[in-house]
Amino acid sequence: MANELNFYVLKTIELQGVEKLYCLHGNWSSIIHIAHFSQTNLSILKERIHYIIKQLLKKHPRLRSRIRVIRSFDSQTNNEKHLLDLFDYDEELFSRTDILQNFYSFYSGQENWMKIAENLSNENPYNKELTYIFPLFHFKLIFNENSPENSHLILLTNHSISDGQSGYIILHDYLTLATQNECVEWEINRNLSPNLIDLTEKPYTFLYPILSKLCNIVYSCQMKYLDNKLPTKSILINSNQPNDKRYPYIQPMRTHFLFTSCSNDHYEHLRSICHKQNLTLHGPLFACLILTIQYLFFPKFKRDILMNFDISIDYNMRNRLLLNNYSLKEIVGFYIGVNSIDLSDISVNMNFWSLANYCSKETNKKLSDGEVSFNTHIFSNIINDDKNDFFHLMGKSSDGCLSEMNYSNLGKYPYDITQYKNVNLDGIHLINNSSIYYSSTIIYLTCVKQIDISLAHRFEHHDKAREFLYLYKNLIELSIDFHMNTTIQDIFDLLNKTTY
């Protein structure tokens, strides 16, 4: 559709690094925010939908963009150039109902919102030739016939141009526009912010070329001998066409979703404990994740230390980037760096709150010493390599798995929800998936009134994924009663006696 209409391209930038990975070789990555409402008149959320979409298109340039892919295949390479075309705001075009309907839809029925979110995320957003993606965002408002007092607003965005914090911004703008007294026209923003890699400082300047080559070798070796510890199984999205020639290395795979929540009481109690210990919530939440993995997947032998397990952590880089006159606080874009921490020296005799402190300090240390920025550039080099050696290797040795687990604690919703008149926002679940190059298990945490937990997974057995998620939730709830001398071994012993 984006090729057929007379959109004027105001600016084009080439995607690099992770933004490029999310649409490389036919890959797509969708990020989903599911906002939950209770005792809310649905008409408030839908009656101004055209006005709302138009204002969002004015304010956020990446929402009126298109991903365009140019390919030049030969016998040696599978080269692709990935472009982001920013369309100018055209009042006539963006006032047409047939155009605006690309950005929203309504659903009234009995299908579960969880299933709807999963199906949306696994739906191929490309055109038939895999040469462009448009639109890059879509709202789906769900009205459940079985519980008419509850409704859900799903925001689907393409992960190449958006992250978790961007979704918060978009949802806040939507609810503000839907509930304000007057329909105020917003100004048109024509400033397209750069890619993450262009904003990220390159550390270890003089040693970088040498370190970069070494890391390329290390990453390739790790991929060649990848030993997955989680019981996963890949399922083709299109099982009727298992050898689709449009995908040069790996076929798109399906991701499943699960959701749960801890109560507001548990959240407030845990936050109070962290405040007294001068500790962020990330510490105990990440510690509980580590212990869940250890207990569930490495339970069959006695040990004095924890088994090492690679968990990639998402870092919100918005306040740590080279701004170059860009204020990123309220700008939609991709601003996430990724890194891991080492777990191999943790004794089972360590007390839980020491583990929580360790998790918090190590996570911050990776950021302060430049390791996150360094890895962002290294990984970008690998992705941008025209020879595609890394992806040739992945096509032979794996089904596209880049890491076993990705963890992101997006944190508290940063806006005052009482300003949304006659709208009761209860919570927001956030999750994402990638169809080709992916993390096999993804945990996202968010908070409006309570801790909402989301799991994207490719577990071989759905029941095992469900067991994992609910054990993690229950361990978070149990943590508010852990004393300062409660050890990791004490917790394992407690879990052995607990039905969850």
Q: Among all chains, which residue has been given the structure tokens 């007379």?
A: 6
pLDDT score recorded for residue 500:
58
Q: Among all chains, which residue has been given the structure tokens 């290294």?
A: 378
Which of 37-46, 49-58, 215-224 comes out lowest in average pLDDT?
215-224
Mind listing the pLDDT tens digit for each residue in 117-141?
999 999 999 999 999 999 999 999 9
Q: Among all chains, which residue has been given the structure tokens 């993690």?
A: 472
pLDDT score recorded for residue 145:
65
For residues 150 and 297, the model is more confident at 297
What is the average pLDDT across 202-215? 80
Token reading at 72: 């030049």
**What is the C-alpha to C-alpha distance for residues 294 and 305, in angstroms, rounded to an integer?**
10
pLDDT over 60 at 77, yes or no = no
For residues 288 and 306, the model is more confident at 288
pLDDT over 70 at 395, yes or no = yes
The mean pLDDT of the chain is: 90
pLDDT over 70 at 76, yes or no = no
Which of 33-47, 88-102, 251-265, 274-288 comes out lowest in average pLDDT?
33-47
pLDDT score recorded for residue 148:
61
Q: Among all chains, which residue has been given the structure tokens 């190590």?
A: 362
Band (341; pLDDT cuts 50, 70, 90) = confident
The reported pTM is 0.94
**What is the C-alpha to C-alpha distance for residues 376 and 196, in angstroms, rounded to an integer?**
9
Burial 5-23 (b: 16+ CB within 10 A, else e): eebeeeeebebbbbbbbbb
Highest mean pLDDT among 70-74, 363-367, 485-489: 485-489
pLDDT over 60 at 74, yes or no = no
Band (236; pLDDT cuts 50, 70, 90) = very high
**What is the C-alpha to C-alpha distance for residues 100 and 137, in angstroms, rounded to an integer?**
11
* Amino acid code (one letter) for 101: Q
pLDDT score recorded for residue 193:
86
Domains of the chain, earliest start first: 9-203 (3.30.559.10), 256-421+435-497 (3.30.559.30)
**∠ CA 79-128-15, rounded to 5°:** 40
Band (63; pLDDT cuts 50, 70, 90) = very high
Mind listing the pLDDT tens digit for each residue in 31-46?
999 999 988 877 889 9
